[in-house]
Structure 1
């Protein structure tokens, strides 16, 4: 499909944009354009456009406002040292987006259309990609746009891609974070939408995140819904444990945990480096005991936005404990440096993960 480009002059001068890119923060500044694509039951996917970023005009009966049929992705575009623009494993985002659509009873967006839409936006807004450690965060999303009241899948949808230049995800940059283990709230249950990247999962996590913030923590750790015992993931990231024998342990995917692309990449890089990676259930009691005995040497979280973040302190109702010296351990540092290096073109891309834009 060819996306029609509707001419648009940026309201911002190059100097104004450069000033914003010096310290973009995260998720507050947006680029000039967006890509939209429509789906209707009679026509399928059609009317692809690249146009000025603008508000949607929605009917009060718009299905997404009442029944929450919505999915999204998070990915980044990078500017390498030689000036090339790259995406990191965008095919995996396209595949996960399609799987999320299946779970939410929404039409599948063909993976080639997903990639074309993302590339179209990056190409037209490439001047918004920061130099140095910054990147362009891309948000493809789809929602039910049909106006009706009734519990059924909608017959109309809008797919859109927007972008924002970003710096560090956590305040203060890449440093160990403090997490709160919630025993009051769960993120997902077996048979639910835990493996889909849908807004409802994140909405349900906000009260737990607020609880974590009240206890001075950066993120929340969720336990399983059945026993409130087994560690699953953070509010927006997967989790890994580095053991005293050098192996890595991470909770297994099973429908309640989001299959993170960063998670998958970390597993591949660790195994490539000769490290053993075990995907098995791990209880909060074991984490607490293993941190005290020294069996757990490092713990880190990973995801597109933060990439890799060491966990230094764990708080819970009734106490807290540190992971080793509460710093960033050598395995965490090595994996983060290698992954970021591949994304930015400073480390050889042996797996062919980089997608270079022409």
Structure 2
């Protein structure tokens, strides 16, 4: 359904050119849930914004392709891309209050989206808006449709954002950390809802998160990103149980095990390198406990180490 080839994204800044994404190669199949995981600044959201053409004005894409159903999205005109955005590819944003119109009632917002994507009357659009609220398990949808976003809880607002995204419904849904600002109980409900919509409507999902627990719960495949690069990818169960990259392994070891509440969490030392001055070798070398001279001198490429499992590390076979 979606294929990204050799994507690179640069940003012009006062410090010079920042290479935010480098050599991104990924595919998403129909009905599949693919997770992208990594710490803040790893390039997860920029990858998503690149797909939908939502990058800032100071962004440049010097090379790469983003192909959706045979069309290179990067080559489309603005109007052509708008026909795909929202209808074929939709996005759930991290903070629902920034995605919802604060002075427009929920039902009207949903109806406006439905009218944009379908040739229907106002009455039919409003009826379908109520149905869309029912699809995301909102109780008393007729009453909620008459309310403003600020009158609702965070979990309720996120359900409405999902209803907006699924209104068309799209063939691909991009979820950019949709559960980050929610408590654990609501987070679980939202994840279940996304899984349910994926199964019922066959919508493929690109799920962006920094939470390995979320990835383990819903993703078929997982991509680990670091400093704007893909460093490991494969089936979720295999990536989490048999990590091949020291960074992936360190992320997993940093999780609390729940056995000893007094035990200090294991942290990853150091910081992500400055992307305006990338290191010559592996970007993780300065923080890696397995670093060798080769790691600092030569950049490792993403390579297949076992069936459907790729890793970018000079130590991959030893790990």
- Tell me whether the two structures share a fold, i.e. TM-score over 0.5: no
More helix by share: 2
Bin of the TM-score, shorter chain as denominator length: under 0.3
TM-score using structure 2 length: 0.24
More strand by share: 1
TM-score using structure 1 length: 0.22
